[in-house]
Structure 1
């Protein structure tokens, strides 16, 4: 019986014969290509879901924003008159869109800044172990886990002219006036939204504190660092990433808040709290200007994309700088 010996060829450097490996068969080549492309196939279900849930509705909204679609042309909306950018022009020049953008942006920024110290203080207070810490952490999450409809209903009752808030203020000699109408409605919305959204900052800050290495705390204690120095130079650097993400999410959540102002103030909302989501709802489901409301929704999407793009750019720069460090 003869045994096949693999072909050899001389090595250029040593002139010794080197065994030549047999070429890959067709099945092995197909297996290599399949294994190399397998991650792309694994992304296909998620990509298909994103197309159906995000891309298709976005394209439909863009198309509707270019039509004169209202209650009279809704039955044949595919054949509705095409008016181009007229809805966008009307939204900017005629409708109160710019006022709503100013109200939504300013109130979202104030609430985001106000929730930052509250969330950080709560995270630092519950970081160390003590009796009943789990209960305290659970209580801190109550404002965030309550449905926005419940929060808006309860605070609407509290802020009534003869409600609990005015009753308590009158006992200390303060006549507050109306909270659900007029200029004070703006600050009422800020107070309620701050109460409802500060646990988000608390959660992400607490997650950042959990990532601090205990050896760092021990080293700071051995060096005799005071609490402010330890907080500034040891703890805050670990919180920069989680807190930045929390601020972005909180800002986007606040600027898109619909249920809370809708339940507290109803529609049409007072002029001082006419936020962008409520205005879009009124134009669509009360005035039946579906093309105009779609244009407002597209503009609000562009407004939201600005801070999101800034954050993603900053994260990309941070990753690049970390990669350059030895």
Structure 2
């Protein structure tokens, strides 16, 4: 009995001693305490952590981000940077039909083209028309697109067909849209006859003071599906549990739209507004096909004015200066949007 008690008392002590001393060394060919060099080198080269905890990268992994950017960088230089620099250089030359054949040797006149564009052309008028028509068309198209997205959010019979029909104005080319509406707006067209059947005489749609609102109407019809697509994508991000919680709380449809759905649409709708504005400001095909050249004074937008100056007056240097002004005009709202997005991300990061 005494022997068994002493043996049981020594067992915990032996276990404690083994824990303190660590695992016993293994016996055999793999019992070396140091790894062979052939095993440690690949671990460092492949980017594993060293015993000190620092991650070392091999030559291929260290240079990988640079060579992966080469194809996109070369394409950007060829497609964007080089034409941009050529356009800026052309805006500083007295380039017309007489000096075009040897345009590299054309007289250098500095900012004279910019001064002439501001003082002797309808540049400010074209800028005002482009900005105002783009803003009005985008603002009116936004609630139409959002309403269409909300209406087709929930499943119902024939939803796929309705969504496909909504996308027709967006997938049609601009020259097709302009040609169809030009046919309907011309004297004797279906729209003109419809007004006369109602006893109204709206006047000419493709010439005169109505051309500005005709352009806005056609632009709204062609652009609202883009806002609809982005709004629909934003609605897909709304968690289903949020809908269930608002339904259990007895929220009305307007309260649900305002406090549940609209917060999720802030980002997509802002992006749609900026992209729509930039697209409308730089739109040339729609007014060119809808009204022809020379365009009426009320729809002589900046892209149309640049085209007329270049290919009818053959003042290529002056038109290049107008194109640079158009580029600056487009860059302003884009910079504002990127700045707002950056500040929004910084605020969210600070909240976290």
Q: Indicate whether the TM-score tops 0.5.
A: yes
Give the TM-score normalised by the residue count of structure 2: 0.85
1:322 matched to 2:348: yes
Superposed, which structure 2 residues align to 1:284-323 within 5 Å? Answer: 284-323=310-349
Q: 1:84 aligns with which of 95, 98, 110?
A: 110
1:61 matched to 2:87: yes
Question: 2-side partners of 1:237 and 1:153: how far apart?
Answer: 39
Question: 1-side partners of 2:317 and 2:333: how far apart?
Answer: 26
Shift, 1:6, TM fit: 5.1
Shift, 1:36, TM fit: 2.2
Report which of the two structures shows the higher radius of gyration computed on alpha carbons. Answer: 2
Q: 2:298 aligns with which of 249, 272, 285?
A: 272
Q: 1:163 aligns with which of 172, 189, 201?
A: 189
Partner residue of 2:216?
190
Shift, 1:23, TM fit: 9.4
Shift, 1:31, TM fit: 6.2
Q: 1:49 aligns with which of 71, 75, 89?
A: 75
Partner residue of 1:105?
131
Q: 2:158 aligns with which of 106, 111, 132?
A: 132
Question: 2-side partners of 1:32 and 1:303: how far apart?
Answer: 46
Question: 1-side partners of 2:40 and 2:106: how far apart?
Answer: 64
1:117 matched to 2:143: yes
1:259 matched to 2:297: no
- Aligned length, in residue pairs: 311
Question: 1-side partners of 2:104 and 2:307: how far apart?
Answer: 22
Question: 2-side partners of 1:313 and 1:41: how far apart?
Answer: 29
Give the TM-score normalised by the residue count of structure 1: 0.91
- Ranges of 4+ aligned residues in structure 1 off by more than 2 Å: 3-7, 22-25, 27-31
1:241 matched to 2:267: yes
Question: 2-side partners of 1:24 and 1:153: how far apart?
Answer: 69
| 1:90-112 C-alpha deviation (Å, 9 max, x unpaired) | 11111111100000100000000
Q: 2:207 aligns with which of 173, 178, 181?
A: 181
Q: 1:220 aligns with which of 215, 238, 246?
A: 246
Shift, 1:34, TM fit: 2.6
Question: Secondary structure at the residue paired with 1:162?
Answer: coil
Question: 2-side partners of 1:263 and 1:31: how far apart?
Answer: 58
Question: 1-side partners of 2:248 and 2:238: how far apart?
Answer: 17
Partner residue of 1:146?
172
Partner residue of 1:229?
255
